Chain A
Amino acid sequence: MYKIVEKRPLSRNITLMQIEAPLVAKKAEPGQFVILRATRDGERIPLTISGTDTQRGTVCIIFQIVGATTRQLNTLEEGDSLADFAGPLGKPTELDGLKKVCVVGGGVGCAIAMPIAQKLHKMGCEVHSIVGFRNRDFVILEEEFTACSDKYILMTDDGSYGEKGVVTAPLKALIEAGEQYDMVIAIGPLIMMKFVVETTRPFGIPTTVSMNPIMIDGTGMCGGCRLTVGGETKFACVDGPDFDGFKVDFDEAMKRTAMYRKFERHAYEAACNLLNKEVQ
C-alpha cells in the first residue's frame, strides 16, 4: 500500500499529496508520470509526478478535482493509503544542453511544469516562467516558481491577480523583444498548448508539449492514449508524454479526450450525490 504522508489544498480545487513509494521516488525524473488507483474498485488514472523526496521515499502528486476519480482520491486523508501506484512511466523530459528556456504552465499543468523549471534552474539554465490561471483563487505554486525562475509572469483570465490575459501574449512579447530561447516547454490544457505552438512556430523555436490523454495501463498495452504526431500514430504512455509540439495533431487529441465526457459527467454527479448522502 502507498501511504499518504502529507495532504494539503493548493487552491480551491487543487490538492497536493506526498505518497510513500520509495522505489518510484528513487527513479522518477521530471516529465514522468504514475498510474494510480485510489481504492480497490477504482479507475486507473495517470498523474504526472510533481516532485520526489528520495530520503523520505515519497512522490509528490498534484491533482485537480475534475471527475469522479479525482474526487474519490481527494476524500482520502493523511495516513490513508492508495490502493495502487505504479511508475515512473513514460520518458523523462529531455533537458540536456539547454541554456535558456521559457516554461509555460496553464492551470494544474503548472504542477508538471514546476519540477522541469526547477531542474533547468539547477542545471544553470536561464528560466523564464509564464503561468496562467482562471483567477486568483486557482493560483498555485507561486513561491516554487519564483524561486527557480529568472523571470516569472503570472496571468489570470479575469485579471484578478497578476496580468490579465492568456499566456501566449507575454510569450509573444518576450520573443519579439528579442529573447532567444533554446526551447519553449508548454504544459497545460490542450487548447493552451495548441496556441503556444502557434505562437512559437513562426519563430521556429523548438517547442515541447506534454500530452495527458486517456490511459489505462500506462505501459503501451491498450493504445487508448494514441495521438497523431507528424502523421504517425504514437502512444503517449511509452513514446511520450512529451512530443514536438509542431508535429502534434491537437484537434484530434482534443476530440479523443472528450470521448467519455458524457460518462464522466454522469460518474462525477453520481460520486457527488453519494458523497452528499454520506455527509447527510
Chain B
Amino acid sequence: MPNMNPRKTPMPSQDPKVRAHNFLEVSQGYTEEMAQEEAARCLNCKHRPCVSGCPVHIQIPDFIQQVVKGDYSAAYDIIADASNLPAVCGRVCPQENQCEKVCVRGIKGEPVGIGRLERFVADWHNNQPKQQVKLPAPNGHKVAVIGSGPSGLTCAGDLAKKGYEVTVFEALHLAGGVLVYGIPEFRLPKDIVQKEVDNLTAMGVKIETNMVIGKVLSIDELMGEYGFEAVFIGSGAGLPRFIGIPGENLCGVYSANEFLTRTNLMKAYKHNALTPIMHAKKVAVVGGGNVAMDAARSALRIGAEKVFIMYRRSEEELPARREEVHHAKEEGVEFMMLTNPVEILGNEEDFVKAVRCERMELGEPDASGRRRPVRVPDSVFTLEVDCVIMAIGTSPNPLIKSTTEGLETQKWGGIIVDETTATTREGVFAGGDAVTGAATVILAMGEGKEAARSIDKYITEKNT
C-alpha cells in the first residue's frame, strides 16, 4: 500500500541559527526509516515520467522499489548504471525542475523526494566496507579527458567501464572541478567528492593534477606522441564575468569564483589556513543563481553580520534551486529583489565602503522568455557594505581553444559540437559548461555520458 501522505518526508537539517556559523553539511540525510517511509510514496506508475525527466535517465521507480524492499545494494546498482556520481547528484541536482517536476505525486501534493532517496542510497553504499571493484578487461585503447569536473569524471567512468585506459588531466591540485572549488562544504562535503573520485581510480582511471592543458601539453601532443586516440574536453566555464561598472577593481570586490575558491578549495575559512580571505561585516552578493546562494551563505559562515542578495529580476525568476533559496533565507540572508548595482564606492585606501544601486521593474518578456528588468527612474540608493561578490555568470576558458587548431567555438567561447558531442576537430569531443556555458552538474554529466558513447563508437569504427 503506498504512503498517501501529500507531503515529502522531511529531511533533518541543522538548525539555521547554528549552521549559519559552521561549514558542516546543512541537510543531514534520511535515516533508513525515513527512506522507507518516503520510498513508499512512489506509486511505481506505468508511464514513469520521472525517468525522462532525468538528464541521465536513472531508472528511478526501479531503484525506489528496491529501497521499499530494503535491498539498498540493488538500489545502488540501478542508480550507478546511469549515474557515476550519485552521492553528488542526490545533493546538488535541481530535482524540482527535472525528475520531481514530472512526478505524478506532484499533481496533488509534493512529488516523491527522489533526490533525497538517491542521496540515501548513495550514502548507504559509501558507508559499506569497500568491495573489490570488478575491473573490465582492458581493450587496449587510450582516451584523454581534460578537466575533472562532473562531465569529465562521468565520461572517464563510462569509458573505464568499457575497458578503455583513461587519463584525466586536471589543472588544479585536486580533482573534482566545480565540485571542489565551487560548491561549498556545507552543501556538498568534499570527502563525498573524494569518494566518488576514489571510485573512479579504483576502476583504473588515472588522474593527473597540475596539468594545464593548452600550456603544458597541447591536444596535438596528447593525440600524437602520447598516443591518445580520442580526447574529451570538459574544461568547464571558468572565466568569471564582471558587470563593467565603476569600482569593480576595488579591494573587497570578488568574483564568486575567487571567493568560493578561497573558501572551498583553499579552506580559507579554517583558522590556520594560509590562504587569506576578507572577513567582511556587510556583504552584497550580485546574482540570483546557485553560485550567488553559495557565496552568500559562505560569507555568513565566515562571519558577516549582514548578507544581501541583489538580483535584478523578482524572486520568481531566481534561477537558484528552490531549496538553496529557502536555506539562505532561513539562515538570515536578505533578498533585495529588483535591484541592480550601478557603482561600487571605495574609501581612501580603495577598500569597498558602499554600493550604489537602482531599482528595477519587470517589463516585456525578452528572448529568454523571462520578463526583462527595466530601470525605475530616479530610484538610485546607496547601501553601505564592505564587500561585494559578483555572481553573474562565467564563460568558457579560452586556453584550449587558443592552442588547438581546427577547434571551433561560438563567439562567446562555447565549443561547437554536434549532437554526438563531436567537435570540429576529428577525435575530439566536448561537453559540460565548456560547450553550454554555465549550467548544472547533472547536465554536464549527461553530456559526459553521451560523449563516452560517441567516443566508444568512434574508436570502435576506426579500428574495424
Contacts and interface: CB of A to CB of B under 8 A. Distances in A.
Nearest to A261: B276
B276 A219 contact: no
A217 B261 contact: yes
Nearest to B394: A221
Interface stretch (B210-218, B285-293, B370-378, B435-443): B210-218
Nearest to B239: A220
Interface in B215-247: 215-217, 238-240, 242
19 contacts: A23-B211, A23-B217, A85-B210, A86-B210, A87-B216, A217-B181, A217-B238, A220-B238, A221-B181, A221-B257, A223-B240, A223-B255, A223-B258, A227-B249, A252-B350, A255-B251, A255-B350, A256-B249, A263-B276
Contacts of B252: 259
Given A221-B261, A222-B257, A43 B238 contact: no
B257 A223 contact: yes
Contacts of B11: none
B249 A89 contact: no
Most buried by B among A24, A42, A84, A220: A220
Interface in A21-44: 23-24, 27, 37, 41-44
Contacts of B211: 23, 86
B215 A88 contact: yes
B275 interface: yes
Nearest to A86: B210
A233 interface: yes
B383 interface: no
Interface residues of B, number: 40
Give the interface size class of chain A: 35 or more
Contacts of A89: 212, 215
Interface of A: 23-24, 27, 37, 41-44, 68-69, 72, 83-89, 216-224, 226-228, 233, 238, 252, 255-256, 258-260, 263-264, 267, 270
Given A43-B274, A219-B238, A23 B266 contact: no
The dominant DSSP class at the A interface is mixed
B209 A84 contact: yes
A168 B172 CA distance: 39
A22 B215 CA distance: 14
Nearest to B397: A220
A224 B249 contact: no
B266 A219 contact: no
Contacts of A222: 240, 255, 257-258, 261-262
